[in-house]
């Protein structure tokens, strides 16, 4: 799921140059482009909230991926497009650094590469603004925020695993919901008793082999 790119007119500034003969020439230097980047998992309201905040912050081009923060960068096409489009002097605005990456190494590496390219970074939570702080302080702050994000993610995973364990102990079953009826189960089991194979049953019932196998394993005595 990707976001539409919003483009506004880029203003220019005039620079005067004087050559060895005293001739003054002028050229138009484009102003830095302000990019906005959002990321969310499945919450539409969260996506809309982030996009609106980026617009209000002055973002001229907005990119975003609807995907989890732990996903590999290759699975985030709009993030890749955004990083490729930016040039030295441009500014990247994000709601918080965890929208860029939730891993410690991922966050530090991406911020380092952006700074080396001459790209400034601002977060809407006011925790980072590379336009107003030395690079050394920036990297120290990024390291702290990256560590905090990694720890938070690990805590979420731990709580989720503990919750699933408790639910399983109470008889809650996880996985895909059944997409077959008791009548279909009865027919599948009768065909299996007669010696029919998974492939034959699947074709006859309009099911996949994996579904037939699941039915048989769940109801075979």
Known catalytic residues? 41
User: Could you tell me the sign of the dihedral formed by the alpha carbons of 91, 97, 103, 105, in that order?
Assistant: positive
User: Could you tell me the sign of the dihedral formed by the alpha carbons of 128, 99, 70, 85, in that order?
Assistant: negative
Dihedral of the alpha carbons of 157, 163, 166, 171, in degrees to the nearest 10: -110
Two structure tokens written together for 28: 């138009």
Taking alpha carbons only, the member of 177, 173, 174, 179 closest to residue 188 is 179
Classify burial at 126, counting beta carbons within 10 Å of its beta carbon; exposed 0-12, middle 13-18, buried 19 or more: exposed
- What whole-number distance in Å separates Cα of residue 179 and Cα of residue 185? 11
Taking alpha carbons only, the member of 112, 108, 4, 115 closest to residue 54 is 4
Beta-carbon count within 10 A of 1 CB: 11
Residue 41 and residue 68 in contact, taking contact as beta carbons nearer than 8 Å: yes
Two structure tokens written together for 183: 């009548």
């Amino acid at each position: 799921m990707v976001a539409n790119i919003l483009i506004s007119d880029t203003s220019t500034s005039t620079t005067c140059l004087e050559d060895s003969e005293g001739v003054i020439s002028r050229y138009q230097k484009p102003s830095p482009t302000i990019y906005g980047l959002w990321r969310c998992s499945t919450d539409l309201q969260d996506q809309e909230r982030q996009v609106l905040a980026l617009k209000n912050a002055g973002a001229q081009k907005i990119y975003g991926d609807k995907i989890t923060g732990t996903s590999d960068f290759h699975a985030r096409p709009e993030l890749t497009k955004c990083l490729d489009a930016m040039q030295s002097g441009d500014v990247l605005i994000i709601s918080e650094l965890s929208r860029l990456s939730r891993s410690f190494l991922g966050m530090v590496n991406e911020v380092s590469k952006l700074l080396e390219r001459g790209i400034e970074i601002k977060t809407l939570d006011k925790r980072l603004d590379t336009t107003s702080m030395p690079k050394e302080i920036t990297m120290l702050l990024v390291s702290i925020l990256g560590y905090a994000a990694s720890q938070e993610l690990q805590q979420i995973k731990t709580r989720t695993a503990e919750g699933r364990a408790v639910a399983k102990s109470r008889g809650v079953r996880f996985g895909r919901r059944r997409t077959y009826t008791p009548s279909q189960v009865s027919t599948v089991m009768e065909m299996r008793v007669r010696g029919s194979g998974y492939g034959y049953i699947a074709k006859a019932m309009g099911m996949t082999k994996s579904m037939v196998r699941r039915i048989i394993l769940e109801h075979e005595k």
